[in-house]
Structures are given as structure tokens and as C-alpha cells.
Amino acid sequence: MLIIPAIDLKDGFVVRLYQGEFKDSKVYSRDAVRVAKHWVKQGAQLLHIVDLDGASTGIPKNLSILNDIIKAIDCPIEFGGGIRDIKTIKMLLGLGVFRVVLGTRAIEDEKFLKNVAQEFKDRVIVSLDVKNNRLATQGWKKTGGLPKLEDFILRLKNLNFSRIIYTDTLKDGTLKGPNIKEIKAILKSSKLKLIVSGGISSLLDIRRLSFLGKKGLEGVIIGKALYEGRFTLAEALKIAG
């Protein structure tokens, strides 16, 4: 199982939010490049970078920092937050992003989803941000009028996506442990490779998740627990196997 450190950017700084709420943000570093270098040096194989300003406004705002990070490290990057058109996806892949994370537009616009699946295949990944078993878009604010979670997963399967990201938004930033029950259910119903995030708090959480590796759990994104020093990345990597 891959351990994937998260770098969430807001106004250029590395922050963590509580359940996605901007008013509950905490700055962990003013130097995102240094943070990225640190995670790579500790053994990260993939970084998950989120443009929070992009997620809330629909336009990525932290691209120059992203570019600085790409140039500074030798490690693939997954990037999301406010990416809502083909042009931006192309631009990001051209910049050297390994994989573009899509949410809002991919969930709300079926035709767009079909187009990106065809054009970019595994270079895009859809993030299922879930609030009380319902999909959430627009910076996790909107839950009404969206497809049902299970219907949407089926849609992704039919479009030949090979993996998805699942975030329990009510767990995110809480350090209350991941939603293992729901993770198991999604693994079972989707048969897709899964990257999960939200709520990781301890090495025990990682051990519990690592048992799901055989069932298709490919990676786990960790934010606050690493920034709060609950454990080190090296410790997590060791337990993840």
C-alpha cells in the first residue's frame, strides 16, 4: 500500500482544514517546496497536492508553487482543486503533473467525464468526496442534485477508469480514524483500485488499512497526522509494507 503525503495549498501556504472548512484552517508551513522535498527525502513515492483556493473558486490559484515543486523534486505528483476544463488538464500534464485529480465537473457533467476518460485515461483520476454517503462537489459544499455514489462508481467503471480516490469529508482533518466500513464496501462493490483519505490518525489505522491491500486498496493519503507529528512518514511506510 502506498503512503501518499498530502500537501494542501491555500494562499501559497501548506495548510490543513477541518472537514474542508476554510475557517478552520491551520498553516503548517509557508514553504511548500521545502515540505515536498522533505516528504520525498523521507521516501514518498507519490505526493497528493490540492489547490484549496482552486477547489473553492473553480480556478487553480497555486500554479506557480506547483511548478516550483515539480522542478524541485524527483517524484510523481497528483494534483487537484478547481480543474474544470480540458485545457487546464492538458496544461497541468504538460507542466509535469503525473495525474490530474477531478471532482466537481467530472461528477456534474457526464459528457465531460466521458471525454476526459477517452482522452487522458489513467492520467486523470476522479475523487469521490463523500458526505454522509452522498457525493459532494464545489469544495465539498454542494450535495444536492448529484448522482448517487453507487451509480457514479458504476459510471466510472463503464468508462474504464482503473482507480478512484475516496474521501470521507466528515473524517477529513479530524484525526478520528478512517471510515473502514465504507472503504471495504466501495472496494467490494467497485472492484476498482482505491486510494483513500480522511481521518488517518495513527499507525494502527495504517495497519488496518494495509490488510485491505489485497482487496485493491492501493494507497492512503495522509495529511494532518503527518503534520501534527502523530507518526513519521518512515514509520508509516514501514507498516504499510
Partner 1 sequence: MVLIIDYGMGNIHSVQKAIEAVGQKTIVGNSPSDLQKAEKVIFPGVGAFSDAMANLKETGLAQAITDYIQKGGMLLGICLGMQLLFEESEESPNKKGLGIFKGRVLRFPRKNGLKIPHMGWNQLKIVKNDCPLLSGINPGSFVYFCHSFYPDPKDKDIIAASTEHGRDFASVLWKGNCFGVQFHPEKSQSVGRIILNNFLKL
Site for partner 1, rule CB under 8 A:
1-2, 40, 43, 45-46, 74-76, 96, 98, 118-122, 162, 193, 213, 218-219, 240-241
**Choice between 148 and 215, CB closer to partner 1:** 215
Q: Catalytic pick from 8, 51, 53, 172?
A: 8
**Choice between 43 and 147, CB closer to partner 1:** 43
How far apart (Å, rounded) are the C-alpha atoms in residues 40 and 77?
A: 11
Cell 495522509 found at: 222
| 129 is a catalytic site residue | yes
Q: Which residues pair with 125 in a beta bridge?
A: 101
**Choice between 45 and 133, CB closer to partner 1:** 45
| 74 is a catalytic site residue | no
CB of 27 to partner 1, least distance (A): 29
Q: How many residues does the chain have?
A: 241
CB of 70 to partner 1, least distance (A): 11
CB of 129 to partner 1, least distance (A): 21
**Choice between 119 and 151, CB closer to partner 1:** 119
**Choice between 137 and 190, CB closer to partner 1:** 190
CB of 1 to partner 1, least distance (A): 6
Angle at 182 between CA 178 and CA 184, to 5 degrees: 95
CB of 119 to partner 1, least distance (A): 6
Q: Catalytic pick from 129, 168, 172, 205?
A: 129
Pairing of strands 217-222, 193-197: parallel
Catalytic residue annotation: 8, 129
